[in-house]
Amino acid sequence: MCCRGMSYLPLLLVLLTATTFIVTYIIAIAKHDVSPDFPYISDTGTKPPESCIFSLFLNMCAALCLCTIYVRYKLVEVLGDTTEDTKLRRLNKLGLGLGILTALGLSLVANFQETNVEAVHLTGAALVFGVGVVYALIQTSLTYHMEPEFNGKYICRVRLTLTIISALVMVMTIASATVSRMQKDSKTDKLHWKPDEPGFAAHIASTVGEWITALVFLFYFLTFVRDFMRLKIDVRPQIYVRHLDEEPTYPGEYTRLLA
């Protein structure tokens, strides 16, 4: 059963994100809002109605991303409780912080279109792709650190491969985007690049790189599915009064969200 434990979280994240990108791309192409030659992912969510769909569902993806990152943090934390491994705990907390920034960046990309508030949009993209690569690196380091006591070597190699690919492609994307911005004509329509315009080749290299990086990130989150099948998180209500006008007391222990 593929949806045991908390495994549905990364599955939902990947499926919803991929569906959002595909649907907005199809609508943007059908309405001729962007060039069909590999537009940036954000370009397909710039004009309405696709921008509305892009914002709505990418915000959901950001929430799912945050939940997935938190569950990964709790999973490593629970395993680490059986040891006195200080390095594991530090890496785990660092990964949580970077993951939160990545989810925040996804929300910024969703809500601030590049044609309206470019600076905020680019900041969000930097958090998603730049900090996202560092998050993947930390999680890969954690996976190697937990081998062989908590996981096997195969998953270490898979995550390392995905991390290296994402890092290399992201560098190519940034370099190509910089070159295309330097070469493009001031009259160039950013949403409708033409093959005969200066900087077109670099632009295509940049957009292809962005799509590949996004795809690799989705594959990386899919590697959490098998791990999450071994974990379940319960939220249990505990009431301290018999009448809601009474002043409560808080006996006993409680568990912090960020232990």
Model confidence band, residue 258 (pLDDT cutoffs 50, 70, 90): low
Does 203 score more than 60 pLDDT? Answer: yes
Higher pLDDT, 185 or 158: 158
Does 248 score more than 90 pLDDT? Answer: no
Looking up tokens 């680490």, which residue turns up? 80
Residue 44, CA distances (Å) to 102, 115, 189, 213 in order:
21, 12, 14, 17
Does 165 score more than 70 pLDDT? Answer: yes
Does 76 score more than 90 pLDDT? Answer: yes
Q: What is the mean pLDDT of residues 79-83?
A: 81
Q: What is the mean pLDDT of residues 17-42?
A: 92
CB atoms within 10 A of CB 166: 23
% the chain with pLDDT above 90: 68
What pTM did the predictor assign? 0.90
Query: What are the residue boundaries of the structural domains of the chain, listed by start?
Result: 8-228
Angle at 59 (CA atoms; ends 57, 64), nearest 5 degrees: 95
Cα Rg of the chain (Å, integer): 21
Higher pLDDT, 85 or 170: 170
DSSP class per residue in 143-197: HHHTTTTTS-HHHHHHHHHHHHHHHHHHHHHHHHHHHHHHHS-TT--TTS--TTS
Q: So what's the pLDDT on residue 259?
A: 57
